[in-house]
Structure 1
């Protein structure tokens, strides 16, 4: 996370009473002003009062407030409310592995705050107030990556986050890892005070899964747009005929995503003039690009809908409805929708990455690139141009393919068969987040290749939109002449064409 002084908040506020957007999650990686409006506070107070009424009735069972947890629900919990908080959290300190990225952790807590703010979890308003205060600082709980199955929510990772907010375990402040109590002190934050219901509500939701899926979606969407732009630049630099984007052709195909993508690509290629030197029909990596990219657009729209529903919903158990005097026990913490969506996102990433790699392969091949030197080397043999970059892209694609096995089909029973089916959405979401970064690097690799192609004899683009993209790349990245390490150039090119910096 970018190091920013505590309280240095520059972005527009996030109102917990308004719909939560993917952009809000992305902005949460830096200090952010989070509002708890009077309407939200009223909902929280009414839900809390209803909880108190229900708990006072010995004949009304309430999971987690009067009972043990999970498979031990048949046993009584601790009578003291503070003890019941510890009872909730202590046994969940079983995570392992490296810490999750800071942007996922803070986004997850923003998702959790929004879910709690809807007033049906029975939490005290002070919990939401304290979460809102955290976002104005650079405080980040240290949360291990491994341990959640995404079934009863992200219990283990959210327990670590909650414990850090109580001053236990570890956390980051201004990017430095330290005991959580010290990070809270430096951030000017007061440790959370929780009862059993507050503690359970903080952990009993799919907020880590939702946050990672949303951030991955944001990144993949940026790369999807970049691959469209880079495909257009490839067409123009090679002097290919853009007839494969003809609106009559694409309309007859009948898929809305392809229609949308092809229209955008036609706008980018407006003004291009084919050289006539290319074959009648281009390889599929060019000719079928609107069909592939369009299918990705349709799939991403599905993921958009799932993420929007998760951001607007409540993942918790039980739920309290004061107007109806209801306590309802169920499974709104079950992360199956996000599991499916993240798996789809990984498949989209694999296809987009494969397309970008195949287009770079075409570009460096003198048999198919209309006479440009092999590997786009300025002096083949004495120099090697994009040879190392192409090798790396092959490795990136292989890694994405290896990770694309659907996690949502891998259910394993656990918790004495209380959780006899699990979605593994957390695994799917974190994997989607990881491979989204590899897709960004594939976009950067292709962009670097296109910048180099013009340097070694490719024509300057004739479409103004393509020429503008090339000029942006050329202004920031020197030609590969002579050879140099290109890892930083790939990352810079990825930033330029996706408009993101990860």
Structure 2
């Protein structure tokens, strides 16, 4: 049985302090057991919010959505008078999700985002809710949450309802990666079922935490692939003996875009020592010559997504919000995930462009008409062997799959909930789609990396730039040459691990 570590007040590299803003690296760590700290400042502000809520509820003249009322389009009707019943009233009707479970890292990261939001003291939740969530993170408990059902407007209502129910011991959950009834997972983890009243239940579901978490995780993955593809482009230039002058600082500065300037600077550092072979045409294909402009535009777009994710991680997503100092119960729309919807759609477009670049560079590399005389498909013995032919076919399929899924979700608003939610952002769909596409981009980077490793084996020159040579050596150490042919699915994944997870 996993041991539940007590929540302390000393932060570490494997802890999250709810008194400080959340970061994307913390979300990445939340998939594993993590110490979540709820210190005195957090406890005090949660207590103040809860005390103020009790004051408001004692005033029969003050309406409070979800406590004295029904939900959504039924706000004009009275809710249940018993707190426990109102909790059930909140969660039961939201048990309408379908499809496979969310990836476990998204489910855990979503709850970390939700915990941070509740810990700001503006939601009026019970202190034991924040404390219970903090204890959960010290274990491997993960709610089983179906993928489909959220429109990302009144928060991620349906997926977060499943998470809340699992924390109560209802539905299903995972422990150590094994799916089981939630009450059993709680028991094995040494956790007690979370007791919720109506406000606690509504606060748990009335936020865009799934959307935010999935966007943040997708962003992290795409950023890593962007760095990898920048390094692989440099390696391609060096292996082919191309002229690195396309990254000249005077040329790129004249282009006028910050992202391109920064990417080209990194490329020049990686290509330092690279000498053109003199065997290439005066101007390279755009997949090489225009790479600083393409990768730079991607960098600019990713910086926009960085800002949206940072704002979402540092903001409170709930309705209503309670401001004791101003004696204000604010009913509004802080659960409306439009910023993340736009950001996730931008992320998908960036992924498509980067994936296309990787596929085009691999296509150049396997083509004897454009690869400075290397054998077709980088086969060690063309005809008797087929080298990267299967991998190149697969990359075409990956790019097609990405392109098919790039249609913006944020523009697909449909009215629902008796037109209470007459506009919706569909940020959840955008975020989950971007998360999926990021995994394909990672494989495209691995495919190109495998091709570059093979290119040197079949006659490509060893890189002259020390940084490029170091990357090639890391690939060569991890992957044997394709000679003779063998299945390469695992090799692509290994190559992706080397280039995407490394620092180049």
Both structures adopt the same fold (TM-score exceeding 0.5) = yes
The one of 277, 285, 288 equivalent to 1:286 is 288
2:162 to 151, 160, 163: 160
Whole-Å separation in 2 of the counterparts to 1:135 and 1:163: 16
Q: Which runs of 5+ in 2 are unaligned?
A: 7-11
Partner residue in 2 for 1:75 = 77
For residue 207 of structure 2, what is the aligned residue in structure 1?
205
Q: List alignment gaps of at least 5 residues for structure 1.
A: none
Give aligned pairs, total: 497
* 1:320 and 2:322 are equivalent in the alignment: yes
Structure 2 counterpart of 1:128? 130
The 5-angstrom pairing of residues 414-425 of structure 1 reads 414-425=416-427
* Residue 484 (structure 1) aligns with: 486
Q: Residue 178 of structure 1: CA displacement?
A: 0.4
Counterpart of 2:308 in structure 1 is 306
Q: Tell me, what secondary structure is at the counterpart of 1:314?
A: coil
Report SS of the residue matched to 1:309.
helix
> Shift of the alpha carbon at 1:6?
4.6
Q: 2:274–2:463: 8 Å Cα contact kept in structure 1?
A: yes
Match of 1:333 in 2: 335
| Distance in 1, Cα, partners of 2:24 & 2:68 | 36
| 1:307 Cα deviation from its structure 2 partner | 0.1
When normalised by structure 2's length, the TM-score is 0.98
Task: Indicate the residue corresponding to 1:396 in structure 2.
Answer: 398
Maintained 8 Å contact 1:375/1:384: yes
Asked if 2 retains the 8 angstrom alpha-carbon contact of 1:8 and 1:31, the reply is no
For 1:65-144, list aligned pairs within 5 A: 65-144=67-146
Q: Which residue of 1 aligns with 2:190?
A: 188
Residues 283 and 202 from structure 1, CA distance in 2 versus in 1: closer, same or farther, beyond 3 angstroms?
same
* Aligned positions of 1:366-405 closer than 5 A: 366-405=368-407
1:44 is matched with which residue: 24, 39, 46? 46
Please list the CA deviations of residues 167-207 of structure 1 after superposition, one character each: whole Å capped at 9, or x if unmatched: 00000011110000000000000100000000000000000
Please, which of 228, 233, 236 is the counterpart of residue 235 of structure 2? Answer: 233
Aligned-partner SS, 2:93: helix
For residue 224 of structure 1, what is the aligned residue in structure 2?
226
Q: Take 2:71 and 2:5, find their aligned partners in 1: how far apart are those partners?
A: 40
How far has the Cα of 1:12 moved from its partner? Answer: 2.5
Kindly indicate whether the alpha-carbon contact (under 8 Å) linking 1:153 and 1:334 is maintained by their aligned counterparts in 2: yes
SS in 2 for 1:97: strand
Shift of 1:11: 4.6
Offset, 1:25? 0.3
Question: Contact between 1:5 and 1:174, CA under 8 Å: does it hold in 2?
Answer: no
**Secondary structure, aligned partner of 2:191:** coil
8 Å CA contact 1:11–1:32 kept in 2: the answer is no
Q: Contact (CA 8 Å) 1:11, 1:33: kept in 2 or not?
A: no
CA distance in 1, matches of 2:77, 2:349: 44
Q: Structure 1, residues 441-477: CA drift from partner, whole Å, max 9, x if none?
A: 0000000000000000000000000000000000010
Secondary structure of 1:178's partner?
Answer: strand
**What's the secondary structure of 1:92's corresponding residue?**
coil
Once the 2 structures are TM-superposed, how far is the Cα of residue 125 of structure 1 from its aligned partner? 1.0
C-alpha distance in structure 2 between counterparts of 1:293 and 1:8, whole Å: 44
Give the secondary-structure state (helix, strand or coil) at the position aligned to 1:327: strand
Aligned to 1:145: 147
Aligned alpha-carbon RMSD (Å): 1.1
**Residue 264 (1) aligns with residue 266 (2):** yes
* Aligned match of 2:9: none
Shift of 1:112: 0.2
